[in-house]
Structure 1
C-alpha cells in the first residue's frame, strides 16, 4: 500500500431516479492479484443518462451504484501477483474495460464476446454493480476504482493525453467494431444515424478504415455534424417527423444526395431511427443496431428484412478492439485529428448532476463529449 493513501474514496452515488449525491466509501483491501486505480477521467455515456432517469429496474434495485464505465486511471495500489502478471507498477496510467471474461469456458467468452459472459451476465460490471458491500468501488464516478484479477486493463500509450485515451478506448473502439460489422468494403458507403459521441466515432471509424460515411442528425446537432464534415463525412439534417411517409422521403433524399447506402449503423436508439435504417439501406445491405429504445415503442417491418434481404446485426461494445483503436487514433492524430479534442466539457464530482444534464442536452450547452474529473 502507498504510504499516506486515503482510507476512503469519494464517489457520486446513484440512489434512485434523478437522485445522485456524494458519498464516502472505504478503500477495499487489495489482494495479491488486485489493483486500485486513482481515477483521472471518466466519460459520461448514453447508458448512464438512461440509468439516471431510472430506466433500468435492476440498477434501481442495487442502489447505491457508482456509475461510470469509461475509465482512465493511475495505479494507486497493486498486489505483487498483479504487478508481475500485468507488468504494471504504482503510477502507471491505464484504461479498464467495462466487462471482463470468465475463466469457465462459457460460449460467449470462448467466442471473444466477454461483454455477454454467460457466467457474470451483461448486468455485472463497472457502472452497474452495487456499492453496498466490499469492494464497493465499481464505477468511475469516483476518486478510486477497484480492479479485480479478471478485469481487462491496457496501459495508456505514453504519447496519449488522458482525453485521447478515454475517447479512443471506448467510443472510438466501439465505432471501429461496429463499422467493421457492416461488412462494407473499401470505398463503400456507410450511413450513421445519431450524431452523439458514438455516432461521430462510427463515422470516423468508417472513414479511417477506407469507407465513405454520412452522418444523420437533427438541427440541434449542428455542431456535431459540422465536426463530422471536418473529418470528411457527408452530413444530412432530418426532422423529428416519424411518420412512414416522412421516413420514406428522408431515405430517398439521403440516397439522392449521397448515393446508395451499403450499410447503416443505428445509434440514435429512437424508433424513427430504426425505421429509417431499414428503409435507407440498399438491397442486400447490412444494418447494425447498437442502441435500443423501449421495446414496446419499437416498430419493425419484417417485410423489409425479407424483401430487401437485409442482414440485421446487433453489436454491443468493443471486446478485443482497444489496441486497434489506439493504433488508429494515433494515426489520425498524426494527420491532425485528435479524438481527445471531442471532450468539450469536464465537470468535478460535485457537479455530477449538471454533467449528466449537459450530456443529455437538457441545458443550453451543446457538448460533443462530457467527462468527469474526480480529482478536481
Structure 2
C-alpha cells in the first residue's frame, strides 16, 4: 500500500465498471497502451475512503468510510487551453490518455486503475461523495454513463419536444435516451434484434425504439430512416454511440437538414470514407464529444429524482464478477458468451 500524504486519498474499490474501451484494450488493439504495460484497467470507480490526509479531509470534506466516485481525468495545475474551457479530459499538459485505466502501473504509487482492490487519489483528482440514498450500482451508472448522457444530449442543442435519435442501446445509449427523456425530448433508441431486452428497458423509461438490421446497404439505411421519421417525426438531432460504420451512416441519413449529429464512438477510420457530400447538402452540424466533464454532480441529482419515480439505473448492472474473473467479465461485456448484459462490473471484495 502506498504512503498517503496530507493531500492524498486511498480508496478501497467497491465497484468498477467494464466499459467498451477496455474490450479493445484487453485485445491489445491500442498501441499506446501496449507500450505502457503494466496497466491497471478501470476508470469507472466507486470506492470507500480507507486513508485520507489531513488537508485532503478538510478540503474535500471527507472522512474514513465515505463512499465516493473519482473521475478518470482531472484538470492540470497550469490551466492549459482545454482545461480553461472546462474540458479537462482533453488536457494539453497531461494528454487524453493519462489517467485512471491508462497510466502505467510502473508510475508510483502504482494504483492507477479500478480493476484492483485499492486506488490512489492524488490532490488534483476530482472526487464526489456518493449520496447515501444511492446504491453502489446506481452510483456506478450515474458517475459515468448517465453523466455522459446529460452532456451529450445537451450538446445536441435541441429544444424541448424535439426528436432525438440515439443509435446504440448499450449503457451509454440507454443513458442518453434516459437523459433526453428527462430533459423533455422525444426519443427513439435504435438497436439490433439482439438488443431486444435493452430496447424494452428504454421503453419503460418513455423512449420509443426501432430495430434495424446489421445490413447497412444504402437502400436499407434509407428505409430505416424513413420508418423512424414516419413514426415519430423529423429528426432534429442524432447521438451516435454504437461506433459502427452502419450507425454513422444511419445518423447521416436520418437527421434532417440543419440538424446535429453528436458522435461519441468511432469505428476504424479505414473502414469507410466520411460522407462529406451529405454533410454539405443537408448542412449538418457534426460534433465529436468525449466523456463527461462537470456533469457528475448533476447525474447524481438525476439518479436520485429517477429513483423517487421508481426508475433505478443501478438495475442496469446485470453482471458482476470478482477480480479473478476479469477475462470472463470482458468476454461477457463483449457479447462473446451466451449472456446478454446491459452493464458489467467488477466487485474486488467478492
Partner of 2:4: 30
CA distance in 1, matches of 2:107, 2:213: 47
CA distance in 2, matches of 1:324, 1:87: 19
Partner of 1:349: 323
CA distance in 2, matches of 1:356, 1:298: 27
1:312 matched to 2:286: yes
Partner of 1:68: 42
Q: How does 1:128-277 map to 2 (within 5 A)?
A: 128-277=102-251
Partner of 1:14: none
Name the Cα RMSD after superposition.
0.8
Partner of 1:126: 100
Q: Secondary structure at the match of 2:270?
A: helix
Q: Secondary structure at the match of 2:175?
A: helix
CA distance in 1, matches of 2:299, 2:272: 32
CA offsets 1:169-213 (integer angstroms, 9 cap, x no match): 100000010011111111111100001010000000000111111
Q: Secondary structure at the match of 1:40?
A: strand
Decide whether the 8 Å contact of 1:186 with 1:210 is kept in 2: yes
Please report how far the alpha carbon of residue 133 of structure 1 lies from its aligned counterpart in structure 2 after TM superposition. Answer: 3.5
Please report how far the alpha carbon of residue 344 of structure 1 lies from its aligned counterpart in structure 2 after TM superposition. Answer: 0.7
Partner of 2:337: 363
Q: Secondary structure at the match of 2:62?
A: coil
The runs of 5 or more residues in structure 2 that have no matched partner are none
1:337 matched to 2:315: no
CA distance in 1, matches of 2:107, 2:290: 28
Decide whether the 8 Å contact of 1:36 with 1:76 is kept in 2: yes
TM-score by length of 1: 0.92
Decide whether the 8 Å contact of 1:275 with 1:299 is kept in 2: no
Instruction: Give the paired residue count.
Output: 350
CA distance in 2, matches of 1:115, 1:337: 30
The runs of 5 or more residues in structure 1 that have no matched partner are 1-26
